[in-house]
Amino acid sequence: MKHSAPRGRQLKRLACLSAATVVVGLLAAPSSGVAQAPADPGTPPGVDEVASTKNLNQVAHLPKTGPFANSTNSDWAFKGEYAYGGNYNGFAVYDISNPKAPTVAAQVLCPGSQNDISIKGNLLFLGTDSQRTNDSCNNAASTTAAPGDRWEGVKIFDISDPTTPAYLKSVKTDCGSHTQTMIPGKAGDNSVYLYVSSYNLAAADQPNCALPHDKISIVRVPLAEPTAARVVSTPVLFPDGGYPGGTEGQSPTTGCHDITAYPEKDIAAGACMGDGVLFDISVRSQPKVITTVRDTENFAFWHSATFNNKATKVVFTDELGGGGAATCNPEIGPERGADAIYDIVGKGNNRKLEFRSYFKIPRTNTDTENCVAHNGSLIPVPGKDIMVQAWYQGGISVWDFTNSRNPKEIAYWERGPISDTQFVLGGSWSAYWYNGFIYSNDIAKGVDVLELKDRRTNPATGASTELFNAQTQDNYSNW
């Protein structure tokens, strides 16, 4: 969830704000009211047009507002009747008690990319992956002229009152926190563990991020005393250095981009730039690599991972071009910038990942649109493996991978390009199913709420959960 341009070339850093501020009670905006284009996969919609299948429809839209209006939207987490949306200027809290009429409950100004979010109880964890002058929410980008503390890592907020989040604590981590995965402690351990993923593609040492960087940072947060949070281990996952990279743009492994955990099963899947990884996380502070897999022909950047509900499969995404390129076209083809489906075979420490197939949206985008596989989640349909997924300006796709060898798209919703004359970064960063609706955080446009009505997914109707972190998968059979 999670722009993966090299650290030296990430999206423009945010300017300093004068103070940490919570803006409360902004009003909802009406639906976007864009023109409808034909649902024709061979003809991209035009600027300000929308194309979709009949079974997937937009029911609400909120444009970016205030201090977030010109800043990048990022990832989601959900709790109860609130959605928490990351933004490079902080995070927004949305009241979604009526999904068809969401409102902005608060905006927390706290600049620093990517502001990736996870939630446990009344604690919100915010990941910062850019060097800042200090660890407060009143900071600026750290430069040679204003180095400050060169802080980056994880901030912890109290969200007991979602409309007024309170900053509690920071934990500095090596190379920052590009993403972080919340994993509850085992029985008797009233803690959560944050697996902090970060990387360095600069091919040179950087402050806070010396090479080789083949590790993750693990932060333990005692739930009864969150201000005692600290880094408890920094396991080296790739003692051999991992994949060294390829000559055709394949990324080397210098850390991990994203880790998705399935705590009930004591496993996690890591998308580690040049490697796909399956972990044993039965000892939370000491994850062990079970097996790794590489695809040096078609994968350029292992970006994220999603288990099916039975944890017998993993979908890995390839963020070809770092999320900043037009890759949904015939020149790139159907196997690059795509999803790859792997079956998990074997048992225990003998488990392996076996490739089955690729999936990519079957539509052509224009050369002015960034489009590539990005963040998604399962739709809780019993007995089926169905996923909703963001594709940046490629839109939102719902697809079925119950048959690992023959995945099929069953719905999509897509905006036309922001511009038809020049390349402009935008589109859906993350699209997740939560309690009957699909929520998309669009980089440039704001929040979209979609409703899916299809006989193949209708069995998910009525399923609900009080907490949703896409990188902490629950067994939805227990919902």
Tens-place pLDDT, residues 144-203: 888 888 999 999 999 999 999 999 999 999 999 999 999 999 999 999 999 999 999 888
Q: Let me know how long the chain is.
A: 479
Tell me what pLDDT residue 40 has: 56
What is the residue-averaged pLDDT of the chain?
Answer: 92
Question: Above 70 in pLDDT, residue 118?
Answer: yes
Q: Is the pLDDT of residue 48 over 90?
A: no
Query: What tokens were used for 320?
Result: 């070809």
The two tokens of residue 391 are: 């594709």
pLDDT value of position 63: 97
Enclosing H/E stretch for 398: strand 396-400
**Whole-number percent of the chain with pLDDT over 90:** 87
Which regions of 88-216 does DSSP assign to beta strands (E)?
90-95, 103-109, 114-120, 123-132, 151-158, 166-172, 179-184, 191-197
Cα 40 to Cα 364: distance, rounded to the nearest angstrom: 10
User: Above 90 in pLDDT, residue 17?
Assistant: no
Q: H/E element holding 355?
A: strand 352-359
pLDDT score at 41: 60
Closest CA to 270 of 288, 245, 297: 288
Give the pLDDT score at 433: 98
Average pLDDT over residues 393-408: 98
Query: What H or E segment, with its residue span, contains residue 169?
Result: strand 166-172
51 pLDDT above the threshold of 90: yes
> Domain 7-478 carries which CATH code?
2.130.10.10
Give the pLDDT of residue 18. 29
pTM above 0.85, yes or no: yes
pLDDT at 42: 67
Closest CA to 258 of 304, 196, 203: 304
Sheet containing strand 446-452, strands side by side: 56-63, 446-452, 437-442, 428-434
Amino acid in position 38: P
Whether 360 shows a pLDDT value over 60: the answer reads yes
Token duo for residue 331 = 């020149």
Write the pLDDT tens digit of every residue in 293-329: 999 999 999 999 999 999 999 999 999 999 999 999 9
The beta strand positions in 173-282, using DSSP E, are 179-184, 191-197, 217-222, 230-233, 258-262, 267-272, 275-280
